[in-house]
Amino acid sequence: MQSVQTTLLAVDPLQPAPADIERAAALLRAGQLVVFPTETVYGLGADALQVQAVHSIFTAKGRPYSDPLIVHIAEYQTLAMLVTHIPQDALRLAEAFWPGPLTLVLPAHERVPRIVTAGMPTVAVRMPRHPVALALIRATATQIAAPSANRFMHISPTTAQHAFTDLHGRVPLILDAGPCEIGVESTVLDLSTDIPTLLRPGGVSLEMLRTLLPTVQHFTSPRASSLEQNIADAHKSPGQMLVHYAPTVPTYLFDGSLSQIHTAMLTTIQQHLAQGQHVGVLIADEDLSALQNSGAKLYTLGSLTQPEQIAAHLFAGLRALEEANVTLILCRTFAEQGIGLAIQDRLLKASGSKIITVS
């Protein structure tokens, strides 16, 4: 693709200047791309109803057309323009969790371009909570299709600088409103079938969903037999591939008791250091005392007692270790309650399910 000059524009995260928002909205209306913040991660946006603009998203990211996009809206009534039917469950969930990190998959209206839905008969829709995102959608006066603002399969961006690193020269404008609050992508819930199905855990937990819809089930993607199959298969939702959100260096996930994980990590660190390699380790605060003299590059995400803090720092931690030029990254598993399910999901995909179970 032809290189463009990328501007990084600082905006107030709570009260963005109207002139800054209009600058971005004008680009979107003209069929160009804009990176903008949401409460989850930074998004790479285009007018969802302009087919050529949506094509540009796939080109900029190097994303396959089998991976659908989420359509972002700012008004509840807009949902009726994008879907053929709004079930009562969708209305209840929207009332409870919109604006917020919940994406609903529903039967797509014919006006939604098929490039947005990966040719599927369903469309994924959400209303973000971030003031900048909402202001931009309203100023553009259309719906914005937006995946995460990174190169395909790379670690999702939770700062504007992350997006700039991946996409500079590929987008004209990045709105910088500081770090994202939640740090992992939205929850995706499929309401197009008889049984509500969680396709991707995220900022709204499975437990929270089940307070309104007790029958929600959690879909686990079957493992692809090859990377080519992993990329080629069309999905109802983004983020369903075996490998995703991944650093450019091999990443391994350790599972077991706390003491077993520490012992296994220390052994692995020493083996690789002896070979002249540099090892990165992604841990919680509670792991620090056991590993601080290991010789590895450590990145602590926060306390196990504050899983929201761990989620907010997760992608930044993976990027920091990658940028420290380590040759491999070691991570630990986390409890799968609440947002921990989303944390575990992202680590599984970042490692390509390379799990070392210790006992």
CB contact set of 223 (below 8 Å; sequence gap of 6+): 242, 353
pLDDT of residue 227: 42
177 with 42: CB under 8 angstroms?
A: no
SS3 280: strand
Would you say residue 234 has pLDDT above 60? no
pLDDT of residue 82: 98
- Nearest in space to 161 (alpha carbons), one of 135, 180, 147: 180
Q: What is the mean pLDDT of residues 312-339?
A: 97
pLDDT in tens, 130-166: 999 999 999 999 999 999 999 999 999 999 999 999 9
Q: What is the mean pLDDT of residues 278-301?
A: 97
CB contact set of 293 (below 8 Å; sequence gap of 6+): none
- Cα separation of 206 and 183, whole Å? 17
Q: What is the mean pLDDT of residues 248-255?
A: 96
Q: Where are the alpha helices (DSSP H) in 6-100?
A: 18-29, 51-61, 79-82, 88-97
% of the chain surpassing 70 pLDDT: 94
26-30, 77-81, 239-243, 286-290 — which is least confidently predicted? 239-243
Confidence class of residue 1 from pLDDT cuts 50, 70 and 90? confident
pLDDT of residue 7: 98
Average pLDDT of every residue of the chain: 94
pLDDT in tens, 36-88: 999 999 999 999 999 999 999 999 999 999 999 999 999 999 999 999 999 99
- Cα–Cα distances (Å) from 196 to 59, 191, 215, in that order, read 33, 5, 7
Confidence class of residue 222 from pLDDT cuts 50, 70 and 90? low
- Cα separation of 271 and 62, whole Å? 36
Q: Strands, DSSP E only, in the chain?
A: 7-10, 34-36, 43-47, 70-72, 102-107, 122-126, 144-145, 173-176, 187-190, 197-200, 217-218, 251-255, 279-283, 297-300, 328-332, 355-357
- Cα–Cα distances (Å) from 248 to 51, 57, 169, 257, in that order, read 31, 21, 20, 28
- Cα–Cα distances (Å) from 313 to 31, 66, 103, in that order, read 33, 29, 22
pLDDT of residue 230: 45
Confidence class of residue 181 from pLDDT cuts 50, 70 and 90? very high
pLDDT of residue 219: 82
- Cα separation of 145 and 252, whole Å? 33
pLDDT of residue 242: 66
pTM, rounded to two decimals: 0.94
Confidence class of residue 238 from pLDDT cuts 50, 70 and 90? low
Task: Please name each of the domains of the chain with its CATH number.
Answer: 7-232 (3.90.870.10), 251-357 (3.40.50.11030)
